[in-house]
């Protein structure tokens, strides 16, 4: 038999039970729409003013001549037809193709993949040496330099003048004549991509290093006990474990390169077939004052970013379902 319950405790239980029963009888509480609107209104105003309105304005302006940003003459899809017929935007009559859109594709393919690859390799290797912090600090230093300053530094490195350009001065010691790194259309885009890689590998290394360190040591050790070598551990244990982080870094870097401007503008100003979408937009808006045409370029940029975002969301859902 249990001990008798004190009268005060019995009354408290009865009171609590009565309140619970009364609450259940009333049903769910009515939502307080006024409080919800009050707290959401500031964020909604900011989104409308700085995101929704500019986006809608830009889309509408892309169907207009848009001189000086005014809706003066509706032209329908003329800006888009002109855009895809402009060799400065995309030129498919030559091989390889050229134009701002094609150059952005080159950046996405080479810059993004190499940044992820080098960042992952450095992160894995650095985690196994004594001087990991020193290696990460050295790799991350370019991230502390503004992109404009980065471009100015590398402009001196690539200078075709052997007495100024660091790279040509080094190659000259081996009997190689000066190369116009920023003037040769066959080399210049890859030279610029190398600058971007040098400036961004540190970001990928730091993020991926944190993901690699989050892998439980027991998983790695059990793989070694099963006889897996280091290459197999990397491919079948490390990479699958950090795939969500790799996708996040990939999407972040890819979206950043879609908006690339400063490195190209400072080093070549879009000359020698180095134009990208952002520099083409800048030139059309501030040099040629073709606001409607420039708005069409921005709309195409937004359309290009949407598939990348959809891919990221699908990959995250797939990873969550597999866990």
Backbone angles phi, psi at 64, to 5 degrees: -130, 160
Backbone angles phi, psi at 182, to 5 degrees: -105, 10
Residue 254 CA: distances (Å) to CA of 112, 118, 132: 6, 15, 27
Domain that holds residue 267: 38-322
Rounded Cα distance between 323 and 319, Å, is 6
Q: CA 219: distance to chain centroid? A: 31
Report the distance separating Cα 6 and Cα 278, nearest Å: 77
Q: At what angle do helices 188-213 and 113-126 cross, to 10 degrees?
A: 40
Residue 238 lies in a domain: yes
Cβ(276)–Cβ(107) under 8 Å?
Answer: yes
Tell me the per-residue pLDDT of 33-59, one tens digit each, with 9 for 90 and over. 788 888 889 999 999 999 899 889 989
SS3 161: coil
Q: Indicate whether 201 belongs to any domain.
A: yes
DSSP category for residue 48: I
Q: Is residue 153 part of a domain?
A: yes
Average pLDDT over residues 202-220: 87
CA distance 185 to 22: 79
Mean pLDDT confidence for 168-177: 84
83: its two tokens: 């855009």
Which tokens in the block code for residue 102? 């094609």
Cβ atoms of 165 and 80 within 8 Å: the answer is no
Residue 315 lies in a domain: yes
Position 191 in a domain: yes
Q: Is the pLDDT of residue 160 over 60?
A: yes
Q: Is pLDDT at 174 greater than 80 in this prediction?
A: yes
**In the prediction, which pLDDT does 142 show?**
87
Check pLDDT > 90 for residue 110.
Answer: yes
Residue 3: DSSP 8-state: P
Instruction: Say if 20 falls within a structural domain.
Output: no
What is the pTM (predicted TM-score) of this model?
A: 0.80
Could you tell me the two tokens for 105?
């594709």
Radius of gyration for the chain, computed over Cα atoms and rounded to the nearest angstrom: 29
Given a contact cutoff of 8 angstroms between Cβ atoms, the answer to whether 222 and 268 are in contact is no
Unique residue bearing structure tokens 């004594």: 130
Residue 72 has pLDDT above 80, yes or no: no
User: Kind and range of the H or E element at 301?
Assistant: helix 291-322
Q: Assign residue 276 the CATH number of its domain.
A: 1.10.3720.10
On the question of pLDDT at 146 being above 70, the answer is: yes
Report the C-alpha gap between 138 and 115 in whole angstroms: 16
Cα gap 254→89, rounded to integer Å: 19
Residue 279 lies in a domain: yes
**Distance from C-alpha of 106 to C-alpha of 113, rounded to nearest angstrom:** 11
Q: Is residue 242 part of a domain?
A: yes
Which residue do the tokens 């037809």 mark?
81
Span 5-32, pLDDT tens digits: 455 545 555 555 555 555 565 556 667 7
Q: Specify the number of domains making up the chain.
A: 1
pLDDT digits (tens, 9 = 90+) for 282-315: 988 888 888 888 889 989 888 888 887 787 777 7
């Amino acid at each position: 038999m249990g001990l008798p319950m004190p009268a005060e405790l019995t009354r408290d239980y009865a009171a609590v039970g009565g309140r619970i029963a009364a609450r259940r009888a009333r049903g769910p509480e009515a939502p307080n729409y006024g409080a919800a609107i009050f707290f959401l209104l500031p964020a909604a105003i900011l989104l409308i003013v700085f995101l929704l309105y500019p986006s809608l304005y830009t889309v509408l302006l892309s169907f207009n001549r848009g001189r000086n940003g005014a809706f003066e003459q509706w032209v329908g899809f003329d800006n888009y037809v002109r855009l895809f017929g402009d060799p400065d935007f995309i030129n498919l009559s030559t091989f390889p193709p050229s134009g701002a859109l094609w150059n952005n594709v080159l950046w996405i393919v080479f810059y993004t993949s190499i940044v992820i690859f080098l960042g992952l390799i450095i992160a894995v290797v650095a985690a196994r040496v004594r001087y990991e912090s020193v290696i990460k600090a050295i790799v991350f230093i370019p991230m502390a330099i503004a992109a404009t300053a980065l471009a100015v530094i590398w402009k001196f490195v690539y200078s075709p003048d052997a007495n100024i350009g660091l790279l040509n001065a080094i190659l000259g010691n081996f009997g190689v004549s000066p190369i116009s790194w920023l003037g040769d259309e066959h080399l210049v885009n890859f030279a610029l991509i190398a600058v971007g890689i040098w400036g961004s590998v540190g970001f990928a290394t730091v993020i991926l290093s944190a993901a690699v360190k989050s892998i439980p040591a027991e998983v790695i050790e059990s793989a070694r006990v099963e006889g897996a070598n280091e290459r197999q551990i990397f491919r079948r244990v490390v990479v699958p474990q950090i795939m969500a982080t790799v996708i996040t870094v990939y999407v972040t870097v890819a979206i950043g390169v879609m908006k690339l401007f400063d490195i190209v503008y400072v080093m070549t100003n879009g000359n020698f077939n180095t134009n990208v979408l952002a520099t083409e937009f800048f030139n059309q808006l501030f040099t040629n004052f073709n606001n409607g045409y420039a708005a069409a370029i921005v709309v195409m940029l937004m359309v290009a970013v949407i598939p990348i975002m959809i891919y990221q969301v699908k990959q995250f859902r797939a990873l969550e379902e597999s866990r």
